[in-house]
Structures are given as structure tokens and as C-alpha cells.
Chains A and B, each alone.
Chain A
Amino acid sequence: QKEVEQNSGPLSVPEGAIASLNCTYSDRGSQSFFWYRQYSGKSPELIMFIYSNGDKEDGRFTAQLNKASQYVSLLIRDSQPSDSATYLCAVPMNYGGSQGNLIFGKGTKLSVKP
């Protein structure tokens, strides 16, 4: 049974700081990883996905993948109060990510203080 673990938080950072969110996964064969953001009372929305070892940057967001250590992280630079949300890490249930099912971590709640 694949598992995805996240620190539930809350993680509190001041406005303008870097927020670092971490996720570990149990299945060494996992190949693709997804970060979703969920505002309170809303549905999850995709922020980033990453397939290869190393870093992937998109605006203020950077995803980092280390397959040897089985962790994936999300960095948010210049954090804004609007970034306050729960961040969910997910991996596909099946290898290759070819089917529409994801195993989610329970999420890390981020609070950015003005």
C-alpha cells in the first residue's frame, strides 16, 4: 500500500519569507509527483508536477525531487498572505501515472502572516 506522508503543520511564515513544504513517499518505484493547493472550503487545484530528479521552477514555486531519499518538497518564495492554504502532495497509484488515481498526503496547512 503506497503511502504519502506530510507534516500537518500548521506552518507559519512571515510575509516575504520562503515557505518549505515537505513530503515523503513509501514506494521507491513512484515516478511522478504532484502538488495541489486547497483553500478552506474549496477544491484542490494543481500547482506543480514533477517527474525528474532535481528542481522544477514555476514563478515563485519550486518543486524539488530526490528519488534516492524518497522525498519531494515545494518551496514558495516571497510568500504572500494569499498563499495561506493547505498544500497536498500526491503520487499516482499506478506506475507511469497513466491512470487517473492519486494517493494524497493529508496536507500541510500553511499560514503566511502579514
Chain B
Amino acid sequence: KAGVTQTPRYLIKTRGQQVTLSCSPISGHRSVSWYQQTPGQGLQFLFEYFSETQRNKGNFPGRFSGRQFSNSRSEMNVSTLELGDSALYLCASSLIFRGEAKNIQYFGAGTRLSVL
């Protein structure tokens, strides 16, 4: 069974640009969550999608947005990039069982974004 796939693996952008990251969850997983990881702040929750709806959102500015498609694939977008957005962006998928996620999240390899 294929794991969580994130593309691209590396990105270099300049300030003010926008970026779109993609995540394909494990087959059958309907919940997709996004996290930002930096050396200073650690792993921080961005948002979670389930059945094409955003269920939860972390404490990030509106420049960070996402969406989920009917096949559970998800994208996140960051507009007007800032230097501080340089980070590893991780996507995780979870299995929904009987209406509840087991919350066992399986992470993709991540996309490393560098903003110059």
C-alpha cells in the first residue's frame, strides 16, 4: 500500500510569490492534515480536511489556505510568501473508522520550502 505522497519535495521561492503544495493520502484515508515544522517552533498544526471540508484550523494567518478534492487529495497554498514561511511542510492522513478518526496520523516525506 502506498504511503502519503507529497510533491514537490523541495521548492525555492522568493518573497511575495505564492506556492501550492500537494498531498495524496494513503488509499482509503479521508482525513488530511497539514503541519509546518521549523527549528524554532517545532511541528505546528495548520489545518485538517475531511470530505472536502476544513474541519479544524490552527493559528496561522489567512495567507495559508487549503482544499481537498473528492478523491481526498489535498493542496495547500501560501500566498505572499515571507522569509519566515521557510519550513518543512508535512501532510498527514488518517483513517476514519465508524465516524471517528483513530488519529493515528501517517506522515508524508514533506515539502521543504525555502523563501529567499
Q: Which residue of B lies closest to A1 (CB)?
A: B59
User: Chain B's nearest CB lies how many Å from the CB of A30?
Assistant: 12
Which A residues lie within 8 Å of B24 (CB)? Answer: none
How many positions in chain B have a CB within 8 Å of any CB in the partner chain? 30
A98: which of B33, B92, B101, B104 is its contact (CB, 8 Å)?
A: B101
User: Chain B's nearest CB lies how many Å from the CB of A66?
Assistant: 21
Most central of B31, B32, B45, B93 by chain A CB within 10 Å: B45
User: Chain B's nearest CB lies how many Å from the CB of A108?
Assistant: 11
B42 lies within 8 A of A107 (CB): yes
User: Does any Cβ of B come within 8 Å of A110's Cβ?
Assistant: no
How many positions in chain A have a CB within 8 Å of any CB in the partner chain? 25
The total of interchain contacts (Cβ-Cβ below 8 angstroms) comes to 74
User: Does any Cβ of B come within 8 Å of A53's Cβ?
Assistant: no
**A94 CA / B100 CA spacing, docked (Å):** 12
> Which A residues are within 8 Å of any B CB, using their own CB?
32, 34, 42-46, 49, 88, 90, 92-94, 96-107
> Which B residues are within 8 Å of any A CB, using their own CB?
31-33, 35, 41-45, 48, 50, 55-56, 58, 90, 92-94, 99-110
26 contacts between A and B (CB under 8 A): A34-B103, A34-B104, A42-B109, A43-B109, A44-B43, A46-B104, A49-B103, A88-B43, A90-B43, A92-B103, A94-B56, A97-B100, A97-B101, A97-B102, A98-B99, A99-B31, A99-B55, A99-B56, A100-B32, A100-B93, A100-B101, A100-B103, A104-B42, A105-B42, A107-B42, A107-B43
